[in-house]
Chain A
């Protein structure tokens, strides 16, 4: 393909490189960088796709921060969800990974079962949760009823909807668990043997060997889970559609409503940038703080 002698040997390699990656470069410009820029510009306009766009400077952002109560509702819901979901998801995933790492007969079958829920996602699982947490005929309240507890309204209760959303989201932490499992397997056995010789109990070994050795993996999973949790949308739209009383109005859902139900494309773009800034700020803060708590071995 590039055997022509007219192209100097010096230019051959760079040219080949750019030709090979050209599909991605075009995609990057058209589907990523262009839209990012457009969305930023659009956030300073008022536009409903019908009448001409009108430049309104910072008014979209002013409206969010000083007028729109729904914006603050959506911020509160999203931030609360992230704050509770991220640590719970990491702890659940680590617990799953430690169980997957046991040396017992049939561990392969257990690993399959533990990972299975994270591949069954999408709308079907949201339907399942609506059904399982149905206040009248659902499995959850049925089982609570068996032991004499009258269950709450779950998704239909203003107080319980968000906690239930967090609870059901833990069902799909399998991928995070697999990454933890790989991290656990990388810890040299010699470290545990040394700790055992020192007379450390299993619990001490966990805190003195497992956790410090696992910190790079924890950092990776932490950042990925933060980014993913901020993006919650499908479950919110399908299960509660933001209700009851906006108690599950995630920022992505509010943004979607603004764009496609109220035709406020400028305002929706502004919301997207607030979400972007918030996600990046928290991810960067986590990354910066990691210098203080992530343990890197000298040899690596």
Chain B
């Protein structure tokens, strides 16, 4: 769109600013509340910047509530999910991308269609299954399935692997390299951007997961951050400035991953939409 006039550009710019303000304000409000004193929280004047920011609210929550425990639990479950998905999805995606077999097309269609199944359909039988295995109130139901692949990540990695030139592998085949060695030494080095997309999405999904911990964990000391927030609110009736401090704390890792991985995230989402 060429020849855009100056006033037009300025009004577009102002519109963009206005929208940004609307989107950022709730988050700033969260931060603001987390730095207030209790009497300021329950006051009716809408003060965005507290008179004296109470940074000690943040140290208080760690002293009063088992926040470190929750954090560690979240890190553990998230870490296991990332490892599981990276390993399993790479293998499966390599299979789908480079090998033909009777039924392979049909299985790929099946893979894509599993993305449309609502979690509610499998929730009850999965709960029974994990309970029968004696995994209730352990972290196992929250990460073991990650080692068996996940449709979206497999699809994403497959698209990337398809783009790797065949000649490379032909050369490896002539060398007599085995499948796994080809995967390790030729495919993986070219796959780093896609693997980081998988790791980032897996991080967000697991870190923010509430339903899984809610169903499978009952011991309060095993709660993840997400379950912990709900737990503090319902069991301890924690005050709002602490709740907001806790919420901000749980969001910080997401923000860090977002700022460093923004490019990969956008690429990943775009790829799924375009196909």
Assembled-state Cα–Cα distance A198/B117 (Å)? 47
Whether A24 contacts B148 by the Cβ 8 Å rule is yes
Residues of A within 8 A of B46 (CB): 139, 142-143, 146
- CB-contact partner of B23 in A114, A132, A146, A272, under 8 A: A114
Residues of A within 8 A of B88 (CB): 23-24, 27
Whether B148 contacts A269 by the Cβ 8 Å rule is no
For window 155-197 of chain A, which residues contact chain B by CB distance below 8 Å?
171, 175, 178-179, 181-183, 186, 189, 192
A31 within 8 A of B: yes
A30 within 8 A of B: yes
Residues of B within 8 A of A114 (CB): 19-20, 23
Count of A-B contacts judged by CB separation below 8 Å: 262
Residues of A within 8 A of B107 (CB): 21, 25
Residues of A within 8 A of B207 (CB): 122
A234 within 8 A of B: yes
Residues of B within 8 A of A182 (CB): 270, 273-274
Q: Mark A11-45, 1 if CB is under 8 A from B, else 0.
A: 00111111111011111101110111011001000
B57 within 8 A of A: no
Assembled-state Cα–Cα distance A21/B110 (Å)? 13
Interface residue tally on A, bucketed by range: 35 or more
Residues of A within 8 A of B154 (CB): 24
A65 within 8 A of B: no
Q: How many of B's residues come within 8 Å of A, CB to CB?
A: 96
A137 within 8 A of B: yes
Assembled-state Cα–Cα distance A2/B43 (Å)? 72
Whether B16 contacts A110 by the Cβ 8 Å rule is yes
Q: A17-B104, A139-B29, A142-B46 are in contact. Are A179 and B226 (CB under 8 A)?
A: no
Q: A23-B147, A123-B210, A221-B273 are in contact. Are A32 and B124 (CB under 8 A)?
A: no
**Which A-chain residue is minimally distant from B111 (CB atoms)?**
A24
B243 within 8 A of A: yes
Q: A127-B229, A131-B33, A238-B230 are in contact. Are A35 and B125 (CB under 8 A)?
A: yes
Residues of A within 8 A of B211 (CB): 233-234
- Interface stretch of the complex, out of A81-89, A98-106, A288-296: A98-106
Assembled-state Cα–Cα distance A132/B41 (Å)? 12
Residues of A within 8 A of B246 (CB): 124
B269 within 8 A of A: yes
Whether B243 contacts A115 by the Cβ 8 Å rule is no
B236 within 8 A of A: no
| Chain A residues proximal to chain B, CB less than 8 Å | 1-3, 13-21, 23-28, 30-32, 34-36, 38-39, 42, 49, 96, 99, 102-105, 107, 110, 112-117, 119-125, 127-129, 131-132, 137, 139, 142-143, 145-146, 171, 175, 178-179, 181-183, 186, 189, 192, 217, 220-221, 227, 230-231, 233-234, 237-238, 252, 255-256, 259-260, 265, 268-269, 271-273, 275-276, 279-280, 283
Question: What are 28 of the A-B contact pairs (CB < 8 Å)?
Answer: A17-B104, A19-B95, A21-B95, A24-B154, A27-B88, A30-B129, A31-B145, A35-B125, A99-B15, A102-B16, A117-B27, A123-B208, A123-B210, A123-B230, A127-B244, A132-B29, A137-B41, A137-B42, A145-B44, A146-B46, A171-B23, A179-B269, A189-B1, A227-B116, A252-B120, A255-B123, A256-B123, A283-B116
